[in-house]
């Protein structure tokens, strides 16, 4: 089955789908086949967010482990460095591939930074440090903090950061 994906017009006038176009088309195709009526309520951008942020969360945990267990950095510093790195990458990938935003970076970046800072303080440092203080392993505590954060981040990216995107 061939998917028609709008994209860039090539030198000879033919349509060429960009990587972002193909990514969004693949997400839409997967969502169309979700069971139990989920296709009507799950937007393709939610699946894209889950894929991209799952990938960047893996990078976050890898960096956290390397920095805290390997280099013996204090936990708050290791969490911060890993978090900032992963969320910078998440912003770029979500902007380009998932939401395909062409809005002004000068408006998007400050909103994104504000959202990330709030999520960081509440979900990441708060939940991770709190759970670690009561004896939960720091990796498990970080995963729980990440789950709490995911819903807030998706909603913020969709309706605040990348609000220029037509649905």
Same domain, 29 and 54: no
Same domain, 54 and 79: yes
Same domain, 51 and 90: yes
How many domains does the chain fold into? 2
Residues 116 and 52: their CA atoms lie apart, in Å, by 16
Let me know: does 156 contact 127? Beta carbons within 8 Å.
no
Residues 59 and 87: their CA atoms lie apart, in Å, by 10
- Is the predicted pLDDT of residue 7 greater than 90, yes or no? no
CA distances (Å), 22 to each of 4, 73, 132, 154, in order?
9, 40, 41, 21
**Residue 165: its pLDDT value, please?**
77
Same domain, 76 and 108: yes
The CA-based dihedral angle spanning residues 98, 101, 105, 110, taken in that order and rounded to the nearest 10 degrees: -60
Model confidence band, residue 116 (pLDDT cutoffs 50, 70, 90): confident
Task: State the residue range of the domain holding 121.
Answer: 44-161
Residues 96 and 88: their CA atoms lie apart, in Å, by 13
Enter the DSSP assignment of 164: T
Same domain, 135 and 89: yes
Same domain, 62 and 137: yes
Same domain, 70 and 151: yes
- Is the predicted pLDDT of residue 1 greater than 70, yes or no? no
Same domain, 64 and 129: yes
Same domain, 77 and 114: yes
Same domain, 68 and 93: yes
| 167 part of a folded domain | no
| 122 part of a folded domain | yes
Model confidence band, residue 150 (pLDDT cutoffs 50, 70, 90): confident
**Residue 83: its pLDDT value, please?**
85
- Is the predicted pLDDT of residue 164 greater than 60, yes or no? yes
Same domain, 30 and 58: no
């Amino acid at each position: 089955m061939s998917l028609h994906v709008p994209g860039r017009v090539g030198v000879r006038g033919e349509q060429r789908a960009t990587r972002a176009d193909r990514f969004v088309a693949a997400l839409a195709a997967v969502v169309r086949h979700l069971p139990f009526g989920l296709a009507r309520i799950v937007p393709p951008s939610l699946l894209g967010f889950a894929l991209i942020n799952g990938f960047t969360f893996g990078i976050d945990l890898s960096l956290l482990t390397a920095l805290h267990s390997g280099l013996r950095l204090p936990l708050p510093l290791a969490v911060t460095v890993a978090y900032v790195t992963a969320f910078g990458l998440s912003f770029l990938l979500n902007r380009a591939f998932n939401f395909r935003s062409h809005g002004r970076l000068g408006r998007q970046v400050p909103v994104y930074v504000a959202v990330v800072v709030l999520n960081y303080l509440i979900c990441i440092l708060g939940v991770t440090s709190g759970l670690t203080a009561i004896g939960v392993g720091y990796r498990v505590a970080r995963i729980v903090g990440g789950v709490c954060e995911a819903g807030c981040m998706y909603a913020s990216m969709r309706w605040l950061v990348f609000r220029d995107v037509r649905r």
